[in-house]
Amino acid sequence: MKCPFCSHADTQVVETRESEDGGFIRRRRRCAACDKRFTTYERPDVTFPAIVKKDGRRIEYERAKLMASMKLALRKRPVSTEQVDGTVERIEEKLLSLGLREVPSTRIGELVMYELKKLDKVAYVRFASVYRSFEDIDDFRTLVDEVGR
């Protein structure tokens, strides 16, 4: 595989790990020319359902968008990259298992909230406050009370 830093064609696999749920393989690589390390992920190539936005637009599913929204909610939280990857894998598995050609964006939001609630309650509250468009402190109180139970 070509090095993303110097474009040299000779890179070596230093470490290979399968994800906890077996959904992907993570490889640490080292460039023989510049000696920099980088990570690659190997996963099956599958077609995800189209996402139907609230305004009716249909867009392609983008793993990077899901990952970015989760990382934002998990910012400065004690959660490893492997845990985030595993959570995204579970969400994607659920999306695929629905067997639908289109999925409302609200369904993805609910899947993310379900997974975040199990992973990190603070991140869950952060995500929910944006996803549910909280407008005042009472919305937060209600959610925090719900999480605390």
Contacts of 65 (CB under 8 A, 6+ apart): none
* Domain residue extents for the chain: 1-44, 46-148
Residue 26 carries which side chain, given as an amino acid letter?
R
Region of residue 8 (left: phi > 0; alpha: psi -120 to 50; beta: else): beta
Q: What is the pLDDT of residue 26?
A: 92
Instruction: Give me the phi and psi of 98, to 5 degrees please.
Output: -65, -25
Q: Give pairs for 20-24: CB < 8 Å, separation 24+.
A: 20/82, 20/86, 21/86, 21/89, 21/90, 21/93, 23/86, 23/89, 23/92, 23/93, 24/85, 24/89
pTM for this prediction: 0.68
* Spatial distance between the Cα atoms of 110 and 117, rounded to a whole number of angstroms: 11
Calculate what percentage of the chain has a pLDDT beyond 90. Answer: 70
Residue in the block written with tokens 């393989």: 25
Q: How confident is the model at residue 137 (pLDDT cuts 50, 70, 90)?
A: confident
For residue range 105-129, list pLDDT tens digits in order: 999 999 999 999 999 999 988 888 8
